[in-house]
Amino acid sequence: MDTQVVIIGGGPSGLLLSQVLNRAGIATVVLERSSRAHVLSRIRAGVLEWGSVELLREAGIGARMDVQGLPHDGTYLTDGDRMVHIDFKALTGRRVMIYGQTEVTEDLYAAQDAMGTTVLHGVEDVVIEDLDAAQASVSFTVDGARRTLTCAYVAGCDGFHGVSRKTIPEAKRQEFERVYPFGWLGILSRTPPVHDELIYANSEHGFALASMRNPNLVRYYVQVPLSDKVEDWSDDRFWTEFKRRIPAQAAAALVTGPSIEKSIAPLRSFVSEPLRWGRLLLLGDAAHIVPPTGAKGLNLAFSDVHYASEALIAALAHGSTAGIDGYSARALQRIWKAMRFSWQMTTMLHQFEGEDSFAAQMRRATLAHLADSETAQKDLAENYIGLPY
């Protein structure tokens, strides 16, 4: 074999899997379509479950996160000016960490470089074959030349549009999807946060989220129709709309400034089963997409890394394939629970086009129940900080 595991996709899940495997003495080659600069320019998630924090530490890349990350003991859900605090630390004994995906990816690249791992960029036309043979093969074009690698297993970490999931025959895949009729318009701005914890705001004008990356860099969102374009939203229009959707207490503390990044993300829930086909394992967005409402996308990818790395280490270091055989079912149990939570949060906080007055009352009643019920708060907190692996 040319290597033991070929990892398709050099984003955080592929790099973390490579990091964990290499530390266990298992050789990998990582194939990435984009340049490193492009991967590091992606503005993505910023909330890490505590299980993700511990996984990064165990992988030897937690040092900068522990210095620069912002531990959060809770979050706020609001209805108009009413703010309900969900105290993660008091309810579960755990917390979340605010540390951007870009920072995680930068740490992973540095660790992989230090190990001397082969990470190839600019890879095109990937073809995965021989998944039912003694060795799998992955052929691709890089630097104008066609190459083929043989390996024991292939890890598909190449996202929703990648080749890995599509390698599984269509007749053997079962896909589940819900597309939501709105998106999130998000901006990045070098301004101080309106609050020291995240605020998920439900208002008569629509949903808004006040998030952050560090004490001087915020990531704010407002719910918008899918027909909207980024060009429709000037900075002034965004700040005006954001301010009227968050509680007055937070709005009074709002500091505005020029946006340094602005984008609209559609919301969808998607799962493809199975996650394993012969010598191929699917991880992250290659297998599932969640709405960002519950902060589960990157964290679900990392839980896949946990299950996949355990299975691959058992197979390649100890000769047991039980973990490989059980990978899909094991990972999917946690994926579907996270799907439920993200769907619940999305339904609870967003206005849906054409909804009646009853729907708005149900959102208010749900928040009122959360305010009065420690049991309901604990359920939300347990899911938000991350169910155990």
Q: What is the pLDDT of residues 186-198, one digit of tens each?
A: 999 999 999 999 9
State yes or no: is 200 an active-site residue.
Answer: yes
- Catalytic position from the list 99, 109, 307, 384: 384
In this prediction, residues 55-74 reach a mean pLDDT of: 97
At 167-177, the pLDDT tens digits run 999 999 999 99
pLDDT of residue 387: 96
Provide the pLDDT for residue 28: 98
Mean pLDDT of 125-143: 97
Catalytic site residue from 292, 306, 307, 350? 292
Domain boundaries, the chain: 3-72+97-178+268-347, 180-266+351-385
Task: Give CATH for domain 180-266+351-385.
Answer: 3.30.9.10
130: left (phi over 0), alpha (psi -120 to 50) or beta: left
Q: Report the pLDDT value the prediction gives residue 43, as an integer from 0 to 100.
A: 72
pTM for this prediction: 0.95
Angle between helices 12-23 and 101-115 (to 10 degrees): 40
Residue 247 pLDDT greater than 80, yes or no: yes
Residue type, 229: K
What fold, for 3-72+97-178+268-347? FAD/NAD(P)-binding domain (3.50.50)
Catalytic residue among 296, 306, 307, 350, which?
296
* pLDDT at position 46 over 90: no
Q: Average pLDDT of the chain?
A: 96
Q: Which residue in 109, 153, 180, 200 is the catalytic one?
A: 200
- Which of 349, 70, 45, 68 shows the shortest CA–CA distance to 188? 45
Mean pLDDT check: name the lowest of 15-19, 29-33, 80-84, 86-90: 80-84
Whether 99 is catalytic is no
Residue 316 has pLDDT above 90, yes or no: yes
- CA trace torsion 304, 38, 342, 160 (10° rounding): -70
- Cα 154 from Cα 125, distance rounded (Å): 16
Q: Tell me, yes or no, if 229 is annotated catalytic.
A: no
The residue annotated as part of the active site, out of 72, 195, 288, 306, is: 72
Q: Residue 257: what pLDDT?
A: 97
Sheet with 259-273: strands ordered across: 82-87, 74-79, 199-202, 208-214, 217-225, 174-189, 259-273, 288-289
The yes-or-no answer on residue 296 being catalytic is: yes
Task: Tell me what pLDDT residue 104 has.
Answer: 96
pLDDT at 220 over 80: yes
Among this protein's residues, is 72 annotated catalytic? Answer: yes
Average pLDDT over residues 147-163: 97
